[in-house]
Amino acid sequence: MKKKNFITICFGLMLFCGLASAAITFEGAVIPATPAEWNDANVGSIGYAGTGTVTMTESTDSLAASTLYVGHANSSVGTLNMSGGSTLTTATSFIIANGTATHTTGKGYVYLDGAGTKLTAPSSNASYIGKFGTGYVSVKNGAQLETGWLNLASGDTSVVGTGRLVVEGAGSKVKSPTMVLGHKATSSASQRAWLDILDGGKVEIADDPSGKSTIFVGYVNYSNPTATVDGAGSTLSAVNLEAGRYDMGRLVITNSGLVTVSGLLCMNVYGTVNQADICMATRGKLALYGNGSANLDAFFGLMGIPTWEAAGGAMTNVIKYDASGIWTDIHSATPGVDYNLAYITSGDLAGYTVLTVPEPATVGLLTIGMITLFAGRNKKA
C-alpha cells in the first residue's frame, strides 16, 4: 500500500471514530463523567449541584443508569437532550428536578425528539417530574417515554415542586401504569402540575399490576393541576380517571382531542363538590365504556359511584361546554346542537358512548355567512 493512501485511510478512520465518540456529549456537572461509566449499577446525575448537559443524537447512542437525576440539588440546572433514535434506560426510576424541603431551586429539563428516541424506567417504581424543584419533560415527533408510577409536582406539605409533561405530535407516546398530576400541595392553590397532549400525541395509562391504571388530575388538597388534550389524534386513554380527588383539577378536551375511560370516571371523590371539572369545546370527545347514549343522565350514569356519592346525585358543573367563551354546565346545553351522544358499535371505540361538543354555534353561523357572502359576490360577477 502506498504511503499516501495509508495516511489517507488512517485520517479517515480517526475522523470517523472522533465523530462516533462525539455523538454522546457531556458538558459541565455530569456524574459519572464519561459515557463508559453509565450503566445500571451506577447512579447517573446531570446537573449535580451545578449546571450539566448530556446530548445524544444518534440511534447508536445508548446510556443506562440505576437511577437518573436531571437537576440534582439546590441551584442546579440539568438538561438531557435526546434525538435521532437514542435511548436511555434506568434500572429503578428517574427524578427530574430533585431536591428537599430546604433545597428547592433545582431545575431539570428533558427533551425527547424523533422516532425511536426513548427514555425507559421500570413499571414497578415511581418516577418524578418536579420533586421540590422545577421539572419539564417534552416528548415530540414520535419519541417515547415509558415509566412506572409517574408523579408531577411533588414534595411535602410545606414545599412543592413544579412539573410539566408535554407530549406532542403523531407517534409521540407516554405510557405509565398510574399518573398523578399534583402529587403534593401546600395550603395555597397555586398551579404546579400540567399535562399537555397536543397535535396527535398519546398518553396511555395501562398495565398497573393492581389492574386499576388510574390518572389523577389533582391528587391532594390544593394541588390544582390542568390536563389538556388538544388536536386531532391527541388521545388520553386510561382504565380509571379521577379529577379533583380531594378538590381541584381540570381536564380540557378541545379541537378533536379524545379522552377514553374504560373503567370509572370519578370527580371530587373525597372533597368539595364541583371543584373539579371537564371542559370541552371544538369537537372535543369524552368516551366512557357502556351504553349511555339515551341522554345526559344515562351518560353520567356511566361515571364512578364515588362521584354520585360526593355530589349527592346532583351532577352539575362537572362537565362543561364552551358557551360563547364561557365554560358552562352541559346540563344547560341543547342536545343535538351544543353536544351529541353516540354509542359506538365498531372500530377502536366499540362499546363506548362518546360525548362530543361540536364547533360553537357562532362559528358555524359565521362560516355560513361567509359562504353566502362569497356566493353572492360570485353570482354578481
DSSP 8-class letter at 222: T
Is 137 within 8 Å of 130 (Cβ atoms)? no
Is 206 within 8 Å of 239 (Cβ atoms)? yes
The pairing of beta strand 62-72 with beta strand 51-56 = unpaired
- The H or E element containing residue 16 is helix 3-21
- The H or E element containing residue 95 is strand 87-98
Q: How many CB atoms lie within 10 A of CB 378?
A: 8
The pairing of beta strand 214-217 with beta strand 173-176 = unpaired
The span from the CA of 218 to the CA of 18, in Å, is 49
pLDDT confidence of residue 308: 42
pTM above 0.95, yes or no: no
Q: Residue 368: helix, strand or coil by DSSP?
A: helix
pLDDT confidence of residue 268: 76
The pairing of beta strand 265-267 with beta strand 162-168 = unpaired
DSSP 8-class letter at 35: G
pLDDT confidence of residue 211: 77
Find, among 188, 175, 184, 195, the residue nearest to 238 by Cα. Answer: 175
Distances in Å between the alpha carbon of 173 and those of 20, 134, 149, 367?
Answer: 28, 22, 16, 35
Q: Residue 10: helix, strand or coil by DSSP?
A: helix
pLDDT confidence of residue 214: 94
Distances in Å between the alpha carbon of 209 and those of 126, 304, 377?
Answer: 13, 21, 64
160: phi then psi, degrees, rounded to nearest 5: -130, 140
Successive 10-residue mean pLDDT values, the chain, 381 residues: 46 39 85 95 95 97 97 91 98 90 80 98 93 94 97 78 95 97 69 92 91 87 88 97 85 98 86 77 97 94 64 68 94 95 98 93 41 38 39
The span from the CA of 272 to the CA of 277, in Å, is 12
* Concatenated DSSP letters of 37-74: G-STTS-EEEEESSEEEEEE-STT-EEEEEEEEEEEST
The pairing of beta strand 326-329 with beta strand 276-281 = unpaired
pLDDT confidence of residue 272: 56
Q: Residue 376: helix, strand or coil by DSSP?
A: helix
pLDDT confidence of residue 345: 98
The span from the CA of 94 to the CA of 40, in Å, is 12
pLDDT confidence of residue 49: 87
Q: Residue 313: helix, strand or coil by DSSP?
A: coil
Please compute, for residue 185, the number of CA atoms within 13 A of its CA located in the half-sphere on the CB side: 26
366: phi then psi, degrees, rounded to nearest 5: -65, -40
pLDDT confidence of residue 102: 65
Task: Please work out, in degrees rounded to the nearest 5, the angle formed at the alpha carbon of residue 7 by the alpha carbons of 5 and 13.
Answer: 105
